[in-house]
Amino acid sequence: MMTKSVNNSTEIARHNLLGMTQSRLTDFLLSIGEKSFRAKQIMKWIHHCGVDDFALMTDLSKALREKLMAMAEIRPPEIVSQQDSNDGTRKWVLRVTSGSCVEAVYIPEKGRGTLCVSSQVGCSLDCSFCSTGKQGFQRDLTASEIIGQVWLAVKSFDGFKAHQKVDKKNGQIINADKPKVTNVVMMGMGEPLLNFDNVVDGMNLMMDDLAYGLSKRRVTLSTSGVVPMLDKLGAVSDCSLAISLHAPNDELRSQLVPINKKYPIAMLLESSLRYINGLSDNKRVITIEYTLIDKVNDTLPLAHELVALLRDVPCKINLIPFNPFPLSDYQRPSNNRVKAFQRVLNEAGFIAPVRTTRGDDIDAACGQLVGQVADRTKRKQRYLSNQNSNEEQSVRIVNGLQ
């Protein structure tokens, strides 16, 4: 496999083993004349020990190590910056091989630490309340770039399984209170179901005991509603499911989440129920994400409409007050409006926590991730020129020129 590097010299593209599931790694090893059991050894080195150098894999033969060094690599995205918020939230800007950047965010909470992982460089959908959508779209992330976000976060907390120190007397983990990735949500930049195979591989690694061993309840895929792919998901994954709903009727949802015009709410809920009912664990519920936007979707009649819509859906509803960003005209509702909306849901028997905004001092809050997207769609350019012409028009009006 040959490729051109940025300075135009030709170099060998190596197989990145970081994102290979056990079966893909086994196939790769067999294809180079090696035994299949080597896959387990290599996975433990990568995901339990955090090793990215084949020379350190001391239980592999010297010949195999040299072979891997010549043709393979373990390469996570490159960290461009790491920022820590006052509330403990940590955000990474990560450069991927195309030169663009994506973002990943770690949110510590009592008893758990959630990593929000990106699936695409930008997003081809254009939800009106989402900063990522305004950046346009470049490409899907590879499985290595997806699981690489987990690998880097675990590394930053020195949290690899092999590094955990256990107290010999009582079997407890020493330093168990240091930050730890206990949950992953596919809720960063991009629509995960539009990068189906790589996201499924990434999530399978998150849940594989040879990698991060997270329970299926702790790995969540969040979708805006790509119904055909959601119908396929049940055949290959049993992760938890979150739906970006944001409105209780099609007219409003189509304005906020344009993919709703293709796959309206009824189709999306039917598909979500098929998915959740197909899981072996019948106690799981769908998480409904509802971003509350001032005077757009936060009125009491809409809260009652939401109650009626979700009456027979096993779910919990996360209420997320809108987080403003530069290219958006929306506002965050007052606390009183948020509480009033929540009260209607609670009185109807729904669990509906208000998600406290985390990491907004480092632009890491929900809906604020932007990365650095070499946009193929020219969407950002269009937004900026619209904004400029609106501003020019306002200046003309203020100056009495129109």
Task: Give catalytic residues, as residue numbers.
Answer: 103, 366
Which residue of 46, 101, 104, 130 would you call a contact of ligand SF4, by CB under 6 A? 130
**Residue 164 carries which side chain, given as an amino acid letter?**
Q
**Piece in contact with ligand SF4 (CB under 6 A), picked from 45-53, 121-129, 196-204, 352-360:** 121-129
CA 270, 272, 277, 278 torsion-angle sign: positive
Residues 6+ apart with CB under 8 A from 295: 331, 333
Confirm or reject binding of residue 244 to ligand SF4 (CB under 6 A).
Answer: yes
User: Please, what is the angle between helix 143-156 and helix 196-207, to 10°?
Assistant: 40
> Of the two residues 130 and 229, which places its CB atom closer to ligand SF4 in the complex?
130
Q: How far is the CB of 385 from ligand SF4 (least distance, A)?
A: 20
Confirm or reject binding of residue 123 to ligand SF4 (CB under 6 A).
Answer: yes
Which residue of 132, 144, 328, 357 would you call a contact of ligand SF4, by CB under 6 A? 132
Confirm or reject binding of residue 18 to ligand SF4 (CB under 6 A).
Answer: no
Which residue of 72, 74, 125, 219 would you call a contact of ligand SF4, by CB under 6 A? 125
- Tally of CB atoms within 10 A around 159: 19
Confirm or reject binding of residue 119 to ligand SF4 (CB under 6 A).
Answer: no
| CA 169 remoteness from chain centre | 39
> Of the two residues 126 and 208, which places its CB atom closer to ligand SF4 in the complex?
126
> Of the two residues 22 and 224, which places its CB atom closer to ligand SF4 in the complex?
224
**Piece in contact with ligand SF4 (CB under 6 A), picked from 23-31, 70-78, 119-127, 381-389:** 119-127
| Token pair 């209607």 in the structure block, residue | 344
What is the C-alpha to C-alpha distance for residues 65 and 38, in angstroms, rounded to an integer? 11
What is the C-alpha to C-alpha distance for residues 13 and 30, in angstroms, rounded to an integer? 19
Q: How far is the CB of 389 from ligand SF4 (least distance, A)?
A: 23
User: Closest Cα partner for 74 from 35, 28, 120, 5?
Assistant: 28
Give the pairing type, strands 120-122 and 112-116: unpaired
What is the C-alpha to C-alpha distance for residues 82 and 106, in angstroms, rounded to an integer? 11
Confirm or reject binding of residue 133 to ligand SF4 (CB under 6 A).
Answer: yes
Helices and strands: H and E segment counts in the chain: 12, 17
Q: How far is the CB of 116 from ligand SF4 (least distance, A)?
A: 11
> Of the two residues 133 and 159, which places its CB atom closer to ligand SF4 in the complex?
133
Would you tell me which residues interact with ligand SF4 (CB under 6 A)? 123, 125-127, 130, 132-133, 189-191, 224, 244
